Amino acid sequence: MLLAVDVGNTNSKFALFDGEALVAQWRLRTDGKRTADEYAVWISQLMKLKGFEMNRVRGAIIASVVPAVLFNLRRLCQSYFNVEPLVVGEPDVNLGVKVLIDRPQDAGADRLVDAIAGFTKYGGPLIVIDFGSGTTFEVVDRDGNFRGGAIAPGIELSIEAFYLMTARLPRIRVERPPEVIGKTTVVAMQSGIFWGYVGLIESLVSRIQAEFGEPMKVIATGGLASIFVAETKVIQAIEPDLTLYGLLEIWRRNRPPA
């Protein structure tokens, strides 16, 4: 079995693959101070609840946008799973694609993994929209190479800033408002956030396609993708576990011969 770990700024996903099948996944708040022992206690109990033993794990791969967690996640894999993890972004990990941006070393691991996973399933040219802590737009060419993209503040981040930086505005949930012209403060805020992000999605996709100069498929991932897909025609598919399958694909490209 393969342990795949996707570390985001807010949450981290831990997943188990049995061959090609995603058989379990769990979410944990990202914390740079969490020790390898704490990770081990947490994941061992969850694996047992699903009927999996830790000694069934034969490999591990990690993608992280939070450098502070890498040391203890690596120790988790070494000490408790007895494997040396692949870490996306390290020089010895072959992505199988070119990173065609001005500073390839600056490309976030999550963006590269999404690009690889999207191309593996859908081909290119392609735009992958990831609704995470940031809303990212990844551009992949017809050869699968990462060509850059756009990064906007995440929806929940924007809502939290709204709440923290104003004296009277409440904290709201991300949802489609009952009307565009809000007649209460909450509905007005929901309208601005929701329809504002629909406009952001459609505008950026249109501008990316115009600049790229070719028709492009558009797919989305991330927890909030399903909220928006019904309200815009530019997104053709949702892939909730895209990043995890991207880690599986990178593992395939790097795993030792049997």
Strand partners, 62: 5, 87
| Centroid of chain to Cα 172 | 23
**Calpha distance 222→243 (Å, rounded):** 9
Q: Of 143, 142, 111, whose CA–CA distance to 8 is shortest?
A: 111
Give 153's contacts (C-beta < 8 A, 6+ positions apart): 134, 135, 161
Strand partners, 11: 29
From the candidates 6, 18, 92, 110, give the one annotated as an active-site residue: 110
Residue type, 99: V
Max CA separation in the chain (angstroms) = 64
- Tokens matching residue 77: 């894999």
Is 31 known to be catalytic?
Answer: no
Check if the beta carbon of residue 73 is closer than 8 Å to that of residue 38: no
215 phi/psi in degrees, rounded to 5: -60, 145
161 phi/psi in degrees, rounded to 5: -65, -40
95 phi/psi in degrees, rounded to 5: -85, -20
Beta carbons within 10 angstroms of residue 189's beta carbon: 20
Q: Which residues are catalytic?
A: 110
